[in-house]
Amino acid sequence: MRIQRLWHRMVRAPFLDSIEWGSGKRSGTTRMIVRIETTGGVTGWGEAQCLIPSAPAVMQDIAQLAIGYDVSDVERLHRHVMGAGYYHHQRAAVFAIAAVEMAMWDAFGKHCGQPLWRLWGGQWRDRIEASAYVFHADPERLAPGIAAFLDAGFETFKIKIGFDAHSDITLAETARRLIGARPMRLDVNGAWTPGTARAQLARLAPLQPAYVEQPLELSDLAGHALLRQVQPAPIALDESAYTLTDVGRIVAAGAADVLLLDPHQAGGLWQTLKAAAIAEAAGIPVTLHSGGELALSQAAYLHLAASIPNMTIAIDTERTYLGADISQSPPVLSSGRFTVPEMPGLGVEVDEALVDALVVDRIEGAYLDPARPGWFPVKPAY
């Protein structure tokens, strides 16, 4: 079961509504799609985020390195790519590795006739809760968005803050009023300085956030560890927790109560499973970060969530914003939950006509804001 051909395309799926966050505004999601053909006649599909132009360039080299690889050798592929010099370009390499590695797992699962969760220790859970993801800088726009999520049966809510000091509080207060006692996560995206973080967390404490995500700049593990000691809100890390090494450093520093993992940022599904195990050994629950997953990545998320015991809290998803996909039968959200796929591999049938319809040759709108020419995000911002 060796890779004999590898095909890749960059696609962009539009969002039904633009989403706002501290690093800009997005109107769609750009993804890297990979198809591998094996000597055993099995086809595997993979997908990853594609946020920076260097990722497709790295894919050109990985496409050559991967030829001849057995589809089960995912650990070797990851280390081969990094050992080929791409540790210098890790932020680009992880996206490309993740797409190829996912396709390898898909082919391997199909060859074995098993869903991926069965290859990773079995099914710990068969229904995966998703959090309602709310992206609005204007508090007045929260109400209709939250009402729609409530009507759809969501029970956990994630609110983007980190725009400015005043709206941090107003957005959180508005959301708490609308969702009642349901869990409310607040995502700062690294916008606060340490002093601002202490002041804002004191103001937010009466709202009892389930956690506050990435309050400080991503490299400030000492600052996050201190925040855990001086205030009651659980601290979650996302941008700080991209790679396996990142997770090890966070645990060693005592810097987080919750970790958000992402196979695209980690360089693969296997790296994510290892990162979750490190967190489990430290008693830390994990969940999954969302970057606009299409059908393949969404299914991969469900296999991960099904098999990781300490993924005990709702995963993030932007699925409700997607205006297009690459499959006629993607994973379905019902009452705020996904059902775990039962088919072999990822359990997704890709429609190549849908892929072709979404192909693009450049990355558009990953960061920045077209409505504010000359503006760019600064971390920390205030």
Q: Is the pLDDT of residue 28 over 90?
A: yes
Task: Report whether pLDDT(244) > 90.
Answer: yes
pLDDT of residue 342: 97
Strand partners, 23: none
pTM of the model: 0.96
Q: Which domains does the chain have, with CATH numbers?
A: 3-113 (3.30.390.10), 117-350 (3.20.20.120)
- State yes or no: pLDDT of 188 exceeds 90: yes
Q: Please tell me the predicted confidence (pLDDT) of residue 51.
A: 87
Please determine, for residue 365, whether its predicted confidence score (pLDDT) is greater than 80.
no
How far CA 66 is from CA of 73, 84, 265, 309, 362, in Å, comes to 10, 12, 19, 31, 24
What mean pLDDT do residues 132-148 have?
92
pLDDT of residue 371: 87
pLDDT computed for residue 367 by the predictor: 85
Kindly report which listed range (40-44, 81-85, 244-248, 341-345) carries the lowest average pLDDT score.
81-85
C-alpha separations of 349 from 106, 273, 324, 325 in Å: 11, 24, 15, 11
Mean predicted lDDT score pLDDT of the chain: 96
